[in-house]
Amino acid sequence: MNLAGAILAGSDQPHGAGDVRAQHAAEVETLLVAVNEHLRTSSDRNDYAYLLESMLSFEGVVGWGEDLAWGLVNEEYEVSCPSCEAALFIVIGERGFFSTSGDYALSEDDVETTPLRPASPAAMDGIGRRLHDIALADGHQDVASAMTYVFGDATCPDCETGFSVADRVSADWSATH
């Protein structure tokens, strides 16, 4: 299912293959039903993240159907600051919940970081709220918690500009596709 989701997400990009989603609507619907069933029974966090991403791909959600799992599984998103355009890591996982422009993975905790500000689940809306609620319903509290950071806010440590993490992930996706 994950491979089918990735293929379908890639089919949303301009390449001259026609409307793959329309040509295979029945198969896409069957895959969507199957992925929703697997979401409820998946116990592995990473598998669950890929299944969520596949679900979004089958639903035709542009961007998140291709980029959601990468950040959740690798515990970071790479974005650019909307003000100074610095390359930033948005870290969401075992290393903490912060933004940095430094190479935190190779450092001895000497890079400048700024804490992320998670969204309040009650204040979340749209796709962020939906993904959070699905993860909670499926018993994946850790994924639901991560969603509050993905759809929360960050501050650039270089210029101190605040921004929405989800908006920057989406903006960087739009710029490369």
pLDDT band for position 177 (50/70/90)? very low
| CA distance linking residue 159 with residue 146, whole number of Å | 25
Report, as an integer, the average pLDDT of 162-176.
81
| CA distance linking residue 164 with residue 170, whole number of Å | 10
pLDDT band for position 21 (50/70/90)? confident
pLDDT in tens, 30-72: 999 999 999 999 999 999 999 999 999 889 887 787 788 999 9
Which helix (DSSP H) or strand (DSSP E) does residue 113 occupy? strand 113-115
* Residue ranges per structural domain of the chain: 1-74
0.75 exceeded by pTM: yes
pLDDT of 175 strictly over 60 = no
pLDDT of 176 strictly over 60 = no
